[in-house]
Structure 1
Amino acid sequence: MKKTILYLLICLFFIAVTTLPLYGSNSHTSFNITERPPIEWEKTYGGKIVDWGRSVQQTSDGGYIVSGAYQRNAYTPCQGFVYVLKIDVFGNVEWDQQYGIVPNENVGQCIQQTSDGGYIIAGFTGYNYHFDAYILKIDSTGTLQWTRILGLFDFYDDSLSVQETTDGGFILTGWTGSNGAGSSDVWLIKLNATGEDEWIHTYGGSGLDGADSVQQTSDGGYIIAGTTHSFDAGGNGDIWMIKTDTNGNELWNTSIGGGYLDRGRHVQQTLDGGYIITGSTMSYGEGDCDVWLVKTDSVGNELWNCTFGGSQWDEGKSVRQTADHGYFLTGDYTDPARGDLEVYMIKTDEYGLEEWSYIIDHNGVTDSGSYGIQTQDGGYLITGETGKYNLAAVDVLLIKLQGANAAPNAPVLNGPTSGDYRIEYSWNITAIDPDSDDIFYYIDWGDGTNTSWSMAYTSGETIVRSHKYPAKGTYTITGKAKDIYGAESDWGFLSVTMPCSSTIPFYDFLIKVFKRFPNALPILRYLFGL
């Protein structure tokens, strides 16, 4: 009896444990809950030497805007231009532009579309590790509207993150050596719509502090994520979060980390009012350095954290909350066998448990993932770079993962269902795409002929197609639609009958009469007065 009770208690314990929600630290947990989406397309862009992709955003027309660096020297931080690349939904280049101050190194670290249809870019310009923050505003076609340079040349100042604010101005953050209390501090800069300073704040202590990411929050203030060596518990660097009001006054700050170097790279406010941060950790996980994902509440209290990666150096660089309330991370993974850097993509559920991941390996070259987003079609897009630095041959890399695209509905065919096979008739064809994508049509007439795929039409638009059948009989017209992503509908059907006429047409009758009775024409003329 005692053994039976003990057995029941053990069973109940395991049932309870396996049904509880998971919180706390989860190291390298991988649950293949959902199938990872296939790669839709992968493309590279750039010049003849080293080009970087640093930031990407989907634009209002459904395409994408990318910023980074163009024609940069492979190793020496010398020359190179801010690179901006506008592409369509398929990755085709619509326009590209380069900006910068010669002979400086110029890099566009972050780009965002603005409410006027143009773009704001944050980065740095300088030479030999003496950099200034570099802010550029361009219009929708890439024409430069204004620039700002912030900082002092003999120091290291940069801007890594920028966003248009609700008042039409801009907020940016980064690392500054020319302002603040320590060797480097977080700085937060508010500009108006024309790029003029409204205010500048710095945050930090006597150590090395800086910020990589800023976002305006739902209360009108700002959340900043970066790294602190001034206020870390272990003395080697922690993730640092700072929350401010709308004027940049600090409301609270918190450091998250262990006894080794931990770094915050990107932050986003989540739907529950809290925050999600990614970066890297040497304090936790199983490798030398792992991707770190940390979830906090609205005042910075840690709710859970998860690590991902292999045995060597891995890092998270961006995180975005997805439509299903999970998270999409982009960063770097180091191949344990070869030591090559690879693109690392991770999709998790809302508790940080891995659903699927990608490690993109291009056979011995250096690959790096800088930034990733979820796209309007439910897929994903990342930017970074790929190539061989020792050959000074590195290009901007874009990888698009397929979304949960819905195929069009089966076409509806309307028109005559019977007629004379010697006469050409017209039929109307209409289909609806659930995603409102443009539609191509294919019609099979059922007599061995078809239309091939048509040009693209707007979802719901009625098209007209005409056909004449070669002989009497019953035919089935079938129609199919596909969207611009290649998703095909089911077939639509319409049965038509082309019967043999039961009476001889009058014209055919006369021909037969004249052939049979060639002398009948004078008689007909007499009878009809012709």
Structure 2
Amino acid sequence: MKRIKRLHLLAISFLIIGTSLGGSITSLAGESKSHPCCEEKWVKFIHVEGKIEECHDVIQTGNGDYVLLIHSVNNYPDWCGDIRLVCLDREGSIKWDRTYGREKADIPWEIEQTHDGGFIIAGGTKSYGSGDGDAWLIKTDENGVEEWNKTYGGRYEDLALCVCQTEDGYILAGYTLSFSWEHYVPIGWVIKTDKNGNEMWNRTFGKRGNALHFRWVYQSKDGGYFIVGNLARLTHPNPNEWDITNVDICLIKLDGEGNEVWNKTLDYSEIDWVDGATSTIDGGIVIAGYTEEYSYPVMCIIKVDGDGNVEWKKTFKEGVHATWGFSVQQTMDGGFIVAGAKEEFDILTSLPMSYGWLIKLDKDMNEEWNHSYNVIGGFWNLIAPFRVKQTSDGGYILVGTLDMMFLEDLGFRMIGAIAVKTDSIGRTKDFQLKLCTFTYLYGFVKWFAHKLFHGRHSYKKSMPLQSHTWYSLIPDRSMLPIHFSAMN
């Protein structure tokens, strides 16, 4: 299979974070009807010396705070990670900070606020459970204090990638190896629980010759469930080996008991990939991902009705080599806000780098404005998807993972979580973005002084990719997973 070609440096691990940027705003809709001067604008860069902080999701709480879901990873050679919740106030200052996990690898993927004001987190754990890695559900109160956690899985690796609160509990979806037709090939997995996380039923999806994982789940108005995921077609060249030939977007509708009502695929190119979706006020779904054009990924936004029929499809290329779609949400005015990434050349390194990108669409899918958040001397790492949410003041919050690496040849990188709060037309405080680069330079000075006097490194120049399925299946978006074997 052809691999998506990319020119820039994404062969590094699942790390690195947030930083500064200037970016220029392109307005296509004239004057905004809101009042940007009244909306909060700030940038928050969260990093810890000797660790990698990836931001996987964000929500705004009922009282106006922001809760960031972070994967906090110990640096080389440990690589074990914990789940971290960081609560920011309206101005971006930290109110509280919680960590969940033990000595082994644990990873978060999605968070929702629950009806009681607390939070529900979906992910995976190797610290708890009995298998190689289990799907993990954590319930906390409004201050992030754990109330309970539950694991689900079998002998091999299983992972929850999304969660939704239902009328009587929760539904989570992801993939399973434990209950697959081959223990090293993932298939789709859905688990329904009661309000205390006790399993009520589970369903697997995926026949022999296919790999599948789910990226979004939602309870429909009729009490059933919509599921969106990625379906890979496989060939079988050798015993205990499977290669991917192409990837399609998969849409499934279930009834309230988990029985399949319909199942549809969207196939436009060799690779069609979904990373996020949202429900719409008319009962449909909008999907954010990318398709392939001339061996490059191109952001693709697709609207389907409640029966899975495509109503429209739109791509966004912006004249650059590659673009990706990660997250979409319907906005207060009936339009949509899309979070993605695009390649631009960094003025410091003269290399193509991936940067955070917001696009505002009206209800008819016409572009109103777009804004890219360029980081001097670094890039927004594509291993963890970017997420965007509209905020109560009419603005937006965009989160992701930033990799500051222009001094990497000297052995120093800084990887952390970045949150960019914008006004209603995508503007933020560019000065605070630029401060991220200065933070990196200040960290380098401290690191160099420590190395000079103590002869020790805080970071390793070459950071290998994780090899287990959690990272080979939800992968570097420059190089989709193309091979499964019993050796994984």
Give me the TM-score of the superposition, normalised by structure 2: 0.63
Equivalent residue letter for 1:212: L
Partner of 2:80: 130
Partner of 2:453: none
Of 167, 185, 188, which residue of structure 1 is paired with 2:116? 167
Is 1:110 aligned to 2:110, yes or no? no
1:391 Cα offset (Å): 2.3
CA deviation map 1:369-426 (0-9, x unaligned): 1111111211111102111599262211111111269xxxxxxxxxxxxxxxxxxxxx
The question of whether the paired residues in 2 share the 8 Å contact of 1:214 and 1:222 is answered with: yes
Question: What is the rounded CA distance, in whole Å, between the counterparts of 2:282 and 2:48 in structure 1?
Answer: 43
Is 1:121 aligned to 2:68, yes or no? yes
Could you say if the C-alpha distance between residues 248 and 83 of structure 1 is closer, same or farther in structure 2, counting changes exceeding 3 Å?
Answer: farther
Larger relative contact order, structure 1 or 2 (CA cutoff 8 Å, min sep 6): 2
Of 270, 280, 290, which residue of structure 2 is paired with 1:322? 280
Question: What is the rounded CA distance, in whole Å, between the counterparts of 1:317 and 1:159 in structure 2?
Answer: 15
Of 285, 298, 303, which residue of structure 2 is paired with 1:342? 298
Question: What is the rounded CA distance, in whole Å, between the counterparts of 1:311 and 1:78 in structure 2?
Answer: 29
Is 1:188 aligned to 2:148, yes or no? no
Could you say if the C-alpha distance between residues 90 and 240 of structure 1 is closer, same or farther in structure 2, counting changes exceeding 3 Å?
Answer: farther
Q: What is the 5 A alignment of 1:22-421?
A: 75-81=12-18, 94-126=41-73, 127-128=75-76, 129-153=79-103, 155-219=104-168, 221-233=169-181, 235=183, 236-259=185-208, 260-283=210-233, 288-335=246-293, 337=294, 339-387=295-343, 391=351, 393-403=353-363
| Aligned residue pair count | 332
Equivalent residue letter for 2:63: D
CA deviation map 1:266-286 (0-9, x unaligned): 1111111111111100249x9
1:262 Cα offset (Å): 0.5
**SS at structure 1 position matched to 2:265:** strand
CA deviation map 1:289-345 (0-9, x unaligned): 10111111111111111111333222222222211111111112122x2x1111111
1:228 Cα offset (Å): 0.7
Could you say if the C-alpha distance between residues 246 and 254 of structure 1 is closer, same or farther in structure 2, counting changes exceeding 3 Å?
Answer: same
Could you say if the C-alpha distance between residues 213 and 130 of structure 1 is closer, same or farther in structure 2, counting changes exceeding 3 Å?
Answer: same
The question of whether the paired residues in 2 share the 8 Å contact of 1:74 and 1:392 is answered with: no
CA deviation map 1:223-252 (0-9, x unaligned): 101111111246522111111111111111
Could you say if the C-alpha distance between residues 162 and 324 of structure 1 is closer, same or farther in structure 2, counting changes exceeding 3 Å?
Answer: same
1:83 Cα offset (Å): 9.8
The question of whether the paired residues in 1 share the 8 Å contact of 2:233 and 2:245 is answered with: no
Question: What is the rounded CA distance, in whole Å, between the counterparts of 2:40 and 2:321 in structure 1?
Answer: 24
Partner of 1:9: none
Question: What is the rounded CA distance, in whole Å, between the counterparts of 2:35 and 2:341 in structure 1?
Answer: 18
Question: What is the rounded CA distance, in whole Å, between the counterparts of 2:66 and 2:101 in structure 1?
Answer: 22
Could you say if the C-alpha distance between residues 105 and 299 of structure 1 is closer, same or farther in structure 2, counting changes exceeding 3 Å?
Answer: same
Could you say if the C-alpha distance between residues 252 and 77 of structure 1 is closer, same or farther in structure 2, counting changes exceeding 3 Å?
Answer: closer
The question of whether the paired residues in 2 share the 8 Å contact of 1:79 and 1:102 is answered with: no
The question of whether the paired residues in 2 share the 8 Å contact of 1:124 and 1:133 is answered with: yes
**SS at structure 2 position matched to 1:159:** strand
1:73 Cα offset (Å): 8.2
The question of whether the paired residues in 1 share the 8 Å contact of 2:250 and 2:266 is answered with: yes
In structure 2, list runs of 5 or more residues that go unmatched.
1-7, 26-31, 235-243, 366-393, 395-423, 426-488
Equivalent residue letter for 2:271: W
1:156 Cα offset (Å): 2.6
> RMSD between aligned alpha carbons?
3.1
Question: What is the rounded CA distance, in whole Å, between the counterparts of 1:323 and 1:83 in structure 2?
Answer: 35
Partner of 2:432: none
The question of whether the paired residues in 1 share the 8 Å contact of 2:320 and 2:342 is answered with: no
Equivalent residue letter for 2:152: Y
Could you say if the C-alpha distance between residues 264 and 90 of structure 1 is closer, same or farther in structure 2, counting changes exceeding 3 Å?
Answer: farther
Give me the TM-score of the superposition, normalised by structure 1: 0.58
Question: What is the rounded CA distance, in whole Å, between the counterparts of 2:360 and 2:330 in structure 1?
Answer: 10
Could you say if the C-alpha distance between residues 73 and 328 of structure 1 is closer, same or farther in structure 2, counting changes exceeding 3 Å?
Answer: closer
Question: What is the rounded CA distance, in whole Å, between the counterparts of 2:20 and 2:140 in structure 1?
Answer: 23
Of the two, which has the highest radius of gyration? Answer: 1
1:162 Cα offset (Å): 0.8
Could you say if the C-alpha distance between residues 294 and 195 of structure 1 is closer, same or farther in structure 2, counting changes exceeding 3 Å?
Answer: same
**SS at structure 1 position matched to 2:278:** strand
The question of whether the paired residues in 2 share the 8 Å contact of 1:276 and 1:319 is answered with: no
1:78 Cα offset (Å): 4.7
CA deviation map 1:118-159 (0-9, x unaligned): 111212011354321121111122111111122235x33111
Question: What is the rounded CA distance, in whole Å, between the counterparts of 1:310 and 1:93 in structure 2?
Answer: 40
1:168 Cα offset (Å): 1.6
CA deviation map 1:470-501 (0-9, x unaligned): xxxxxxxxxxxxxx99xxxxxxxxxxxxxxxx
Question: What is the rounded CA distance, in whole Å, between the counterparts of 2:196 and 2:304 in structure 1?
Answer: 34
**SS at structure 1 position matched to 2:201:** strand
Equivalent residue letter for 2:121: L
The question of whether the paired residues in 2 share the 8 Å contact of 1:118 and 1:138 is answered with: yes
Could you say if the C-alpha distance between residues 73 and 281 of structure 1 is closer, same or farther in structure 2, counting changes exceeding 3 Å?
Answer: closer
In structure 1, list runs of 5 or more residues that go unmatched.
1-49, 51-71, 406-436, 438-483, 486-530
CA deviation map 1:31-60 (0-9, x unaligned): xxxxxxxxxxxxxxxxxxx9xxxxxxxxxx
